[in-house]
Amino acid sequence: MNKRIVKLAAVAFVATSLAFAGCGSRTESTSGSSGSTKVAKIGVIAPLSGDLSALGLGIRNSVDLAIRQANESNAIPGWTLELAAEDDQATPDVGKNAATKLASDDAVVGVVGTLNSSVAQSVIPVLQPAQIVQVSPANTSPTLTRGSDLSNPKRAYDNYFRTCTTDDVQGPVAAQYLLDAGIKKVATIHDKKSYGQGLAEAFAAAFKAGGGTVVAGETINPDDKDFNAVITKVKSAGPEVVYYGGEYPQAGPLSKQMKAAGLNVPLMGGDGIYDPTFIELAGSAANGDLATSVGAPVETLESAKSFVEAYSNAGFSDPMGAYGAQSYDAANAIIDALKVSLKDATDAKSARAATITAMADVSFDGATGKVAFDEWGDTVTRVITVYKVTDGKWGTEKTLTAE
């Protein structure tokens, strides 16, 4: 990974045309009357309340949209799909309870989620014995698919897939971007959670391999609000950039406090900080800060036009967020597998194992581009975009494909 080559990516993909019936936002999808049809449910496990709800609600709504469209087009004859959304509050124990609830519902055949890799570690072991396929639009920790020893990868859970690329791609892309910009010294800070720590470590390894120096490596607690102690340590090391592994509830205030303390260098992070809320929390201090996020900017993709238009017309009160397109593709991947597994099934539960098997063969052109999975369950699309805050808004700097 330390010799990964990145190049400017083409961001045009094949557009897909999907039927849509507009209607207002609801927590449960009830498109179409079940009548004499059988019911199968697609669950969502995401933070629907709390600090990260801006991302979780976009995930839920995007799955809801895919379900509505499938019902409207009669994608699976004889079956009506329903949404079963559960709030994990971005907490592993709550996520585990949500997974247990969904697994006990015989109508649930698939789950989209989670947002947080740390929550996924609690959810996957519940869904796998129940033979429920899980597709995450946002988990980026490589250990979820390839095990804790990445030098000797082993797939522990055959039910787990994802439509986003991983931190061992995202971290090195960020490192190469800074090195190419002439940055030689960085400091890293992470929140000790699976996502934040893994991302910061992947970034640091690639930055050092590329000839840069990591002048300080610090940590915070996920619920910290005062960062002055760690800022003092980092400031004394003289970094040109601070790389943060974590999410926007801490990253925004960290950026603000850094600048107030005289550490006037950009803060850079991963997809966990790429959200308008980061800018709201950081205020004017956010200008010049950087983030990477999975995929190409949705608004630039020809393949995403129908999704963006349908989401806008749906009347959802919440924006699609950073993972809307990936969530939409995750739901449609499950629906694609269900076209095979439910075809001759007498009930939803009996189709669970067949859905996992069918998922391995899913391949279609989605909102984010090619939707398909490798031998580990990871997406075959390895696109990362670098964003920069300018005049209080995220703007695209560069879209790259890792090889």
What does the domain layout of the chain look like in residue ranges? 12-165+301-372, 167-294+384-402
Give the end-to-end CA distance of the chain in Å, rounded to a whole number.
Answer: 10
pLDDT at 27: 37
Q: What are phi and psi for residue 167, nearest 5 degrees? A: -65, -25
Give the whole-angstrom CA distance, residue 181 versus residue 177.
Answer: 6
Q: Backbone phi, then psi, for 378, in 5-degree steps?
A: -85, 155
Query: 305: how many CB neighbours lie within 10 A of its CB?
Result: 15
Q: DSSP 3-state assignment of 402?
A: strand
Examine the pLDDT at 36 and tell me if it is beyond 90: no
Distance CA 80, CA 78 (A): 7
DSSP-derived 3-state class of residue 186: strand
The neighbouring-strand residues paired with 372 are: 363
pLDDT mean across residues, the chain: 91
Please determine, for residue 386, whether its predicted confidence score (pLDDT) is greater than 90.
yes
Identify whether the C-beta of residue 112 lies closer than 8 Å to the C-beta of residue 331: yes
**Type of residue found at 5:** I
Supply the CATH classification number for the domain 12-165+301-372: 3.40.50.2300
Domain 12-165+301-372 identical in fold to domain 167-294+384-402: yes
Number of C-alpha atoms within 13 angstroms, CB side, residue 183?
Answer: 24
Q: In 3D, which of 15, 3, 95 has the Cα closest to residue 369?
A: 15
Q: How far apart are CA 315 and CA 84, in angstroms?
A: 19
What is the strand order of the sheet 108-113 is part of?
A: 79-87, 38-46, 108-113, 133-136, 160-162
pTM to 2 decimals? 0.84
pLDDT for 249 beyond 70? yes
**pLDDT at 328 > cutoff 50:** yes
CATH number of 167-294+384-402: 3.40.50.2300
pLDDT the model gives residue 2: 38
